[in-house]
Amino acid sequence: MGEDEVGQRFGQVVHVAYLVPDIDVAMRDWTRQLGVGPWTCIRNIELDSTYKGEPLNLLIHEALAYAGTLQIQLVQSLNDPAVDTPYRDRVTAGQWGMHHVAYFAEDVDAAVAAALQQGFGDTCEMRGGDGHRYYYLRSLESQTELWIEFLELFPMLSDIYAQGIAETAIWDGTEAFRNVDFSTFT
């Protein structure tokens, strides 16, 4: 492994996601305590998913902001705790905090295959309304909850990241929170 590849087995980490019990409180905390913002909160997201080979309607609120070029994602699970999701065990145990790191993948199938070879499993495939795929995978060899996500790279996703980074660079600390309902995307 070359010097530039150390710590980047799957590429550059493009976002870090945190599981939170209340998305509004979490956004306020990140802004007040860390100066992170502005936030775009997308509410009532429904993702047609497959988790551990079973169909899943994944329900979340997510909030996105940037710390420099790193996207910070806050996730509030909306599924009933009886439904098996990639978040359920941590939600029911009240274990809030970092959930996963994410990578762009031009060839998402190859990225998932590589992760499976590295000891990841419990795959959750999620599809956005545009048909692009996102995958969570959990390490089956780690003693801690170690999750990764692959984001199928497409031009609009690159544009979203670039726009968010640009907005953060000129943000003056006002208008820290924007809310969007997921239904407006479909």
CATH at residue 15: 3.10.180.10
Calculate mean pLDDT across residues 109-133: 92
Average pLDDT of the chain is 91
User: Is the confidence at residue 96, as pLDDT, over 90?
Assistant: yes
- Position 44 in a domain: yes
Range of the domain at 127: 10-169
- Position 176 in a domain: no
pLDDT at position 7 is 59
- Position 159 in a domain: yes
- Position 175 in a domain: no
| Number of structural domains in the chain | 1
Nearest to 41 by CA among 52, 30, 54: 30
Q: Rounded to an integer, what distance in angstroms lies between the CA atom of residue 58 and that of residue 81?
A: 12
- Position 40 in a domain: yes
